[in-house]
Structure 1
Amino acid sequence: MTLAFRAEDDDEARSMINDQEGGIRSDLRALVDEDGKPLWDGKSIIQAQEATAAQHAEWEQSRDQAISDEEIDLDAGDDPDEWSVYLTSAPQIE
């Protein structure tokens, strides 16, 4: 499972991941996969790494679609760079 999100640098990405009360951990605890299993067990280490070109392109496509579908409302001040997308079909980076 890969979660693509925007961060200024590796330190910011790790900070967002390690924030015990932050949105990333909260989402991972609440969301389930297509089999109804939680995406995260609440214990496993979450690693940060730079997205591949394909993962970045998929994130951009998802963000652009969210803007078109008005899930991201630019007129209301929503920041499109705060868009996160779960790339369940993306291959894991070794």
Structure 2
Amino acid sequence: MPQKLIQIYTHPTCEDSQALKRFLSEGEVPYNEVDVTESNERRNQLKHDTGNEITPGIVVETKNLFGKKKRNTFSGYSANKGNINRLLH
């Protein structure tokens, strides 16, 4: 099974961010959270990684058995819920 590294960019008042965190926690999916309210650098990293400043920003990096990496990015949870669920399970 491919190894998955998940990084999410969140904002504490964003309902979509909170829904994503609940979804990942309920599914016991490990992730790294970056709160974009803490610095301009973090907001810039969100824009660099996803192409915009929409939260939540989701970056899923998978590595197959041969070490090849693939990166999937999503902006927003509700609109991408199905794709995120398929990618993670």
Does the TM-score normalized on the shorter chain lie above 0.5? Answer: no
Q: Which has the higher strand share?
A: 2
Q: TM-score, normalised by structure 1?
A: 0.31
Query: Which has more radius of gyration?
Result: 1
